[in-house]
A and B are shown apart, each in its own frame.
Chain A
Amino acid sequence: MTEALLQLRGITKRFPGVLALDGVDFALTAGEVHALVGENGAGKSTLIKIISGVHQPDAGRIDYLGTPVTFPTPRAAADRGITVIYQEVALFPDLTVLENLYVGAYPRRPLLRHSGRGRRVDWMAMRARAQDVAASLGVKLDLEAPVHRLSAAQQQLVEIARALLRDARVIIMDEPTGPLTQQDAARLFSLIRQLRSRGVGIIYISHRLEEIFEVADRLTVLRDGRRIVAMPVGETTREMLIHHMVGRTLDTLYPHTARQTGPPVLEVEGLGTSGALTDVSFTLGRGEILGLAGLVGSGRTTLARAIFGIVPPGRGRIKLDGVDARIAHAGRARELGIAYVPEERQRQGLVLPFSVSENLSLVILRRLSRLGFINHASERTVAHDVVRRLDIRTPGIGVPAATLSGGNQQKVVVGKWLAAQPRVLIMDEPTRGVDVGAKAEIHRLMSELAGRGLAILLISSELPELLGMSDRIMVMHRGRIAGELSRDQATQEKIMAMATGVA
């Protein structure tokens, strides 16, 4: 084994009331993809923040390129070649791609020709080097486009290019595939391999275990702030890994039970919206989980939102229990018994500063009130009830939703809709960014709900999840239904073929 690029020894970090890291060791060699895994709260983010200079360790030492270092600021770490690609994008929506590549580290030249210090942004040099990097990655970047115009995958590319432009020796990727489609993710993996071959060390964080097995060389498992194990990926299995992470054995990640699909609850006929959806028809039955696959931009989310009334209705008909439904706005959809768990939990699903109970009652607040006055007692009853039923782990129903872990936040989002007792539940990426334990629980909940007759439309970019949970899978391509597969027929390859328009 080559010498370590980055070596952490005995790192301890304490926050008020919490021991976030407890004597953690970690080593990264050049040209290695090192996965960092663990449940939420295991200490992964703290570790990354220490490596990237956001936090300072209370104890322990960091060696970088063979010498002990401290990074007092993120800038100091970045200057030494350590870059983080955060889960939440840290790009500037108003600025162009070119500029985003260089923010904070502009190549400079003197204001006037011979006036000493460089204060002026050297656009020419920027453009030239950006084009070089894009070319070396084999990608095309529209340097003059403002970033808010780019797709998620393109934005991520900008971040990677930015890291390379700064001669990054270590790139930390935190849930990079979260917003990506399978196809984009595949492209990302090949990019990661390319980076690895250049000798860049990559710390890779993901809740999607299959990705770790696909892309990582070694892995380190953290649990409760301690390092549990570090080993080459090849020496472990999925089950062992889950065991290390959770500290116990999970029965199964995809608890699918055989069910009878009942009569259709939701019937969609010839649905179309201007430009995004064309002639979409399908039915969803009582107790059925219908998977919806497709690339980002294929119209999956638009379809969900059209049914939920957030996208204005265009052509076509939607029937609920055989009755024509005119869904002009989301409020109407809610009244009709349609629930939508949106893809972006924190932005679309929750009011983070609101308490758990305030979030849980958000959808049914009018029902919990008389003449507009909230009945706080029944609000509490409902909240306690949902927290118990969904096993939401929270210190109390009065704490802000922001304090909960990702998985429990997602359960709050599901819970607020279950409180409304819907007929149809649309779940858009329900387990994105959720750790494996919570993921299994959400899946179990879905099965249970379907078993009790709820009709579920599951949108996911994670094919194993679709394959594991769905009774039937529908694939979208360019705003149309490209095909449908039964649970038995469906494979990843068939879905991808339909989704990319090959089949």
Chain B
Amino acid sequence: MNIRLLWRERVLIGLLISSGVVLALLSDVFLTPANLLRATRYAAEIGLVALPMTMIIISRGIDLSVASNMALSAMAMGLLWQRGLPIWPAVAIGVVTGTLAGWLNGWVIARVRVPAIVVTLATLAVYRGIATGLSGGTGILGFPESFLALGAGTVAGIPVQTVIWIAGIVIAAVFLTRTTNGRYIYGIGHNETALRFSGIAVDRIVLGLYTASGFVAALAGMIYAARVGTAKSNAAAGYELSIITAVVLGGTSLAGGEGTLVGTVLGVLILTILQNGLTLARVPAAMQDVLIGTVLLAAVLTYRERPMRKEVSAQSTSQPAPRRAAGRAMSDPENTLAAGEERRKP
């Protein structure tokens, strides 16, 4: 876990700098501190949620329900506040709601072992659906200034949510690269079974990851509500795709085990400055979509050429890694009884 940058991270830095230069040429406003700082307000929400998402994807999982969870927890907060609860207790309960929603994802994934993509595809609908149902679709507004500062205020000239994001990046990076659980997350992504056979509580870590994802999504939901000054069930619609795009652009492999937070942060920044700079350069939104899709493809194409540790590349030259190990012992009758173990099929 060195500070040394990976190949793909260098590609991203190159991309960030070169697009920065081009955008600065296209718009005189782009390269001003005020503009860039302002842009980070938008980066912060996506960037925060992308932190646990990176870890989840490293562990070979995915959480598609984050944006819905943002809406749900903001809605819970808004409804309680509307019914007379003071704002900060309401925020606390909202965050707890999101954390519980994340925990529920984790519980079904880790304990019932429904694939994460299926669980969170369903809760994507469920969480937003509950938010819509509870509110009847109408927004709640009129929050006190103290709360709105979370989304619109500044600390020493830097937007509040950017400060929170930076703190989140530091905490997440330290966690992922320096702690035992961070190490285990990579291990789970590479070979969950080996971790189980090393006496590591894989289920608990997975549960923790999705719970953390719920917590951070709830936090981002609060920031979102504070920024737009309203709690609404259609809040942050479609954010999950932006978040996953940023993580993937950052070089995290959906096959698990590979990925860094540096990459994710760079991915978020690139998407942010592209959107910001292209809008300033008066490029129509439809064309921005085309361009961002192309950048994503082009970047991921260059990753394939990255010099990797030798044997890993030797294994993965031909095809994506086997999604499921297929070994004889898997069907060994003894193994079918092993809890938490490799019986793949009905």
**CB within 8 Å of B: which residues of A?**
88-89, 91-94, 146-152, 155-156, 179, 273-276, 296-297, 299-302, 305, 308-312, 329-335, 340, 342-344, 347-354, 358, 362-363, 365-366, 369, 372-374, 400, 402-403, 416
- Bitwise, B171-205 to A at CB < 8 A (1) or not (0) is 00010001111011011001101111111110000
Residues of the A chain whose Cβ atoms lie less than 8 Å from the Cβ of B183: 358, 365, 374
Distance in Å: Cβ of B324 to nearest Cβ of chain A:
7
Give the most central of A150, A300, A365: most B CB within 10 Å. A365
**What is the bound-complex CA distance between A155 and B327, given in angstroms?**
10
Contact A366 B332 (CB under 8 A): no
Contact A146 B345 (CB under 8 A): yes
Residues of the B chain whose Cβ atoms lie less than 8 Å from the Cβ of A330: 196-200
**CB within 8 Å of A: which residues of B?**
174, 178-181, 183-184, 186-187, 190-191, 193-201, 257, 309-312, 315, 324-335, 337-341, 344-345
Distance in Å: Cβ of B214 to nearest Cβ of chain A:
21
Contact A305 B338 (CB under 8 A): yes
Within 8 Å by CB of A354, from B187, B310, B328, B341, lies B187
Contact A374 B337 (CB under 8 A): no
Distance in Å: Cβ of A472 to nearest Cβ of chain B:
23
Distance in Å: Cβ of A328 to nearest Cβ of chain B:
10
**What is the bound-complex CA distance between A351 and B191, given in angstroms?**
6
Contact B199 A148 (CB under 8 A): no
Within 8 Å by CB of A362, from B198, B257, B333, B337, lies B198
Contact A348 B197 (CB under 8 A): yes
Contact A362 B332 (CB under 8 A): no
Contact A353 B190 (CB under 8 A): yes
Question: Please, which residue of chain B has its CB at the minimum distance from the CB of A178?
Answer: B328
Contact A347 B194 (CB under 8 A): yes
Distance in Å: Cβ of A248 to nearest Cβ of chain B:
28
Question: Could you show 23 A-B contacts with beta carbons less than 8 Å apart?
Answer: A93-B326, A93-B345, A147-B331, A152-B328, A152-B332, A297-B333, A301-B335, A310-B338, A310-B340, A311-B337, A332-B199, A334-B199, A335-B199, A347-B194, A352-B191, A353-B309, A362-B195, A362-B200, A369-B179, A373-B179, A374-B183, A402-B315, A416-B198
User: Contacts A273-B337, A301-B332; is A93 near B194 (CB within 8 Å)?
Assistant: no
**What is the bound-complex CA distance between A305 and B186, given in angstroms?**
25
Contact B201 A331 (CB under 8 A): yes
Residues of the A chain whose Cβ atoms lie less than 8 Å from the Cβ of B190: 351-354
Contact B197 A342 (CB under 8 A): yes
Distance in Å: Cβ of B29 to nearest Cβ of chain A:
43
Distance in Å: Cβ of A199 to nearest Cβ of chain B:
29
Contact B329 A366 (CB under 8 A): no
Contact A349 B194 (CB under 8 A): yes
User: Contacts A353-B257, A369-B180; is A347 near B334 (CB within 8 Å)?
Assistant: no
Residues of the B chain whose Cβ atoms lie less than 8 Å from the Cβ of A276: 334, 337
Question: Please, which residue of chain B has its CB at the minimum distance from the CB of A355?
Answer: B309
Contact A374 B179 (CB under 8 A): yes
Residues of the B chain whose Cβ atoms lie less than 8 Å from the Cβ of A275: 337
**What is the bound-complex CA distance between A464 and B53, given in angstroms?**
51
Shortest 10 CB-CB distances between A and B: which pairs? A334-B199, A152-B328, A330-B199, A402-B311, A372-B179, A348-B197, A365-B180, A301-B334, A179-B328, A331-B199
Residues of the B chain whose Cβ atoms lie less than 8 Å from the Cβ of A347: 191, 193-194, 325, 327, 329
**What is the bound-complex CA distance between A284 and B54, given in angstroms?**
46
Contact A374 B197 (CB under 8 A): no
Residues of the B chain whose Cβ atoms lie less than 8 Å from the Cβ of A362: 187, 194-195, 198, 200
Question: Please, which residue of chain A has its CB at the minimum distance from the CB of B342?
Answer: A347
Residues of the A chain whose Cβ atoms lie less than 8 Å from the Cβ of B329: 152, 179, 343-344, 347
**What is the bound-complex CA distance between A369 and B338, given in angstroms?**
30
User: Contacts A276-B337, A372-B179; is A149 near B331 (CB within 8 Å)?
Assistant: yes
Give the most central of B180, B310, B327, B334: most A CB within 10 Å. B334
Give the most central of B178, B195, B328: most A CB within 10 Å. B328
Residues of the A chain whose Cβ atoms lie less than 8 Å from the Cβ of B196: 310, 330
Excluding A273-B337, A330-B200, A365-B184, 10 further A-B contacts by CB distance (< 8 Å) are A297-B333, A302-B337, A329-B201, A334-B198, A342-B197, A350-B194, A352-B191, A353-B309, A353-B312, A354-B190
